[in-house]
Structure 1
Amino acid sequence: MKATPDSSFAYDLHDVTCLFRKHFDRRAIRLGLTRAQWRALKAIRRREGLSQSELAEFLEMEPIAVGRVIDRLAASGFVERRADPNDRRRWRLHLTGKAHAVTDDMEVIAADLRHLALADVDEDDFAAFQRVLARLRANLSVIDTPDQSTDS
């Protein structure tokens, strides 16, 4: 596909993402968590046992900021730090039962929001959209990565 110089699909994607966050925030306010906290809980739920530095990388946040978020979540009883059996200096992050209940609520909120967002969107159109997003992700993922096929 030949793109025009004024193509703004990246801005459109950003706008849609911002709208999703705004509407999610409004619905999730009753959970009493900040956006950084619910994003951390969601990431830990997806990758239970990840380290704090892995979480920071995943969330694209500074490690110190993530440390503060985890401190607050641990103090509130949502997250446990467990020693890494292979590295005494590293802690692994795990959700508590309290956090699982909240993340279950977050999933319901997200599912309801997705349902509203996809109203009147044709299934075939959405499937094509997902394929395009997957291709964009793949194309962008290989930019600036060393070519594995060359011998140095």
Structure 2
Amino acid sequence: MTNDPHEQNPAGKMFPYVSRAIKNSADLMLEKSGLHHGQARLLMILSHADGMSHSKIARDLHISPAAATKVIKRMEQQGYVQRRSDPTDERISRVYLKEEGLILVQKIHATFDRLESIMFRGFSDDELVVLETLLTRIYDNLQENILNDNK
């Protein structure tokens, strides 16, 4: 008997593999729309909060402001977003979805719907409920651990 946590809990070993497989599958599917995951994330964030500032976008995407500017500029050149000055503070630039960006958001939603149907193929409704319950418990345990470690 070993004290290796991976041997004691083989389910725990699967998380990095599943996470990587999801990311790789999503990337391949998004490439068909001419996007990489950073661009898709930007469009999805704007679809929920159009008119965000550059700094807020950088924080939400967990990237540097310079990297956010690069992604925004590329998406603007492709006609998916536009930058406008904040009407109350000219120093702040806000990013808005254009019509082409909204169409792409719909394609992204369809892509992730397809990905989910692939991921959960063969699962019963009951199994999906159990999976969601277990994943929620894991998430809650990790969040509690983060909170406790920050005290």
TM-score in terms of structure 2 length = 0.78
Once the 2 structures are TM-superposed, how far is the Cα of residue 102 of structure 1 from its aligned partner?
1.2
| Counterpart-to-counterpart distance in 2, 1:12 and 1:84 | 46
**CA displacement at 1:98 relative to structure 2:** 0.3
Partner residue, 1:53: 55
Letter in 2 for 1:120: G
**Equivalent-residue separation in structure 2 for 1:86 and 1:14 (angstroms):** 45
Q: 1:150 maps to what in 2?
A: none
Residues 64-112 of structure 1 show CA distances to partners (whole Å, capped at 9, x for unaligned) of 1111000111121111223334443222222110011111111111111
Is the 2:82–2:95 Cα contact (8 Å) retained in structure 1?
A: yes
Match of 1:39 in 2: 41
Q: Which amino acid in the other structure matches residue 55 of structure 1?
A: I
Q: Percent identity?
A: 24
Separation (CA, whole Å) in 2 of partners of 1:18 and 1:73 = 26
Length, aligned pairs only: 144
- State the alpha-carbon separation in 2 of the partners of residues 10 and 84 from structure 1: 47
The Cα shift of 1:10 comes to 5.5
The farther-off stretch of 52-61 and 85-94 is 85-94
The answer for unaligned runs of 5 or more in structure 2 is none
Within a 5 Å distance, the mapping from 1:76-95 to structure 2 comes to: 76-95=78-97
1:115 partner amino acid: S
Q: Tell me whether 1:66 sits opposite 2:68 in the alignment.
A: yes
Q: CA deviation at 1:127?
A: 1.8
Instruction: Indicate how the Cα distance of structure 1 residues 55 and 12 shifts in structure 2: closer, same or farther if over 3 A, else same.
Output: farther
Structure 1's unaligned 5+ residue stretches are 148-152
TM-score by length of 1: 0.78
> Hey, what's the Cα distance between the residues in 1 that align with 2:66 and 2:27?
24
